[in-house]
């Protein structure tokens, strides 16, 4: 792996399909390829959706890899051109990358229009809280998180991969194959309280069989 791994970022955007399409165009302008595109849905209540005049919570999440400098320059452009932060738009954020294949980063560096070097900022304001629970319990996760300061989340469906190794059911606890992953962007000042509440209501010893962890977020645009 490259020695300068810390200088790379995973760029993620969660937005309506038409905004995600525009974002792909912005990324393409800078020579950044979209690696993944998936359908997700938001966790806003129907009352909130009706208030905003929205018919669905369905969203698209796209992700791409760029240098830290490129990502830091790109997010303000995306906020301006996609009106991130306005109602019914979306949120963009970057996650520091700590590992990956050499070939992947060679391609990123070859396409980059910047030096790929910046000072690493240690003090971060946001984290991504990720809760993986049995299917049908994403609402329970959000019901636990909201009183502690979570303003919303994004859900996508996943599937547990079978293997032949002992302990695959997590210390003898049976876990459904079909799972839901809930991603919550949260300020670090509220992270511990949100994670504690999720663990108490939806942790591994509950019917949700939930697993909760967090990853650092480098930059955010579109979140108040």
pLDDT digits (tens, 9 = 90+) for 158-199: 776 555 444 445 444 455 567 889 999 999 999 999 999 999
pLDDT-wise least confident of 1-5, 51-55, 115-119, 196-200: 51-55
- The larger pLDDT score, comparing residue 98 to residue 182, is at 182
Task: Answer whether residue 205 shows pLDDT above 60.
Answer: yes
The stretch 56-63 carries a mean pLDDT of 81
Average pLDDT over residues 74-78: 93
pLDDT (0 to 100) of residue 164: 47
Q: What mean pLDDT is reported for the chain?
A: 79
Task: Report residue 13's pLDDT band, with 50, 70 and 90 as the boundaries.
Answer: very high
Residue of 175 and 216 predicted with greater confidence: 216
Which pLDDT band, with edges at 50, 70 and 90, does 89 fall under? Answer: confident
Average pLDDT over residues 76-98: 89
Q: What is the mean pLDDT of residues 52-58?
A: 52
Domains in the chain with CATH codes: 5-111 (3.30.70.120), 126-215 (3.30.70.120)
- Give the 3-state secondary structure of the chain: CCCCHHHEEEEEEEECHHHHHHHHHHHHHCCCCEEEEEEEEECCCHHHHHHHCCCCCEEEEEEEEEEHHHHHHHHHHHHHHHCECECCCEEEEEEECCCCCHHHHHHHHHHCCCCCCCCCCCCCCEEEEEEEEECCCHHHHHHHHHHHCCCCCEEEEEECCCCCCCCCCCCCCCCCCEEEEEEEEEEHHHHHHHHHHHHHHHCCCCCCCCEEEEEEECEEECCC
Q: Does the pLDDT value for residue 25 go beyond 90?
A: yes
């Amino acid at each position: 792996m490259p020695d300068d791994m810390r200088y790379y970022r995973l760029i993620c955007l969660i937005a309506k399909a038409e905004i995600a399409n525009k974002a792909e165009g912005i990324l393409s302008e800078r020579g950044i390829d979209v690696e993944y595109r998936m359908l997700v849905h938001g966790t806003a209540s129907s009352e909130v959706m009706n208030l905003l005049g929205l018919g669905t919570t369905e969203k698209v999440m796209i992700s791409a890899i760029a240098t830290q400098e490129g990502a830091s320059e790109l997010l303000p452009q995306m906020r301006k051109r996609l009106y991130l932060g306005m109602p019914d738009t979306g949120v963009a954020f970057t996650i520091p990358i700590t590992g990956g294949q050499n070939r992947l980063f060679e391609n990123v560096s070859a396409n980059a229009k910047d030096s790929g070097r910046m000072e690493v900022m240690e003090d971060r304001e946001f984290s991504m809280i990720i809760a993986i629970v049995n299917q049908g319990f994403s609402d329970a996760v959000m019901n636990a998180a909201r009183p502690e300061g979570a303003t919303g989340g994004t859900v996508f469906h996943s599937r547990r991969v079978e293997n032949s190794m002992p302990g695959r059911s997590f210390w003898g606890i049976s876990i459904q194959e079909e799972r839901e992953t809930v991603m919550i962007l949260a300020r670090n000042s509220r992270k511990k309280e949100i994670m504690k509440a999720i663990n108490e209501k939806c942790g591994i010893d509950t019917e949700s069989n939930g697993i909760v962890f967090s990853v650092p977020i480098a930059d955010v645009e579109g979140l108040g």
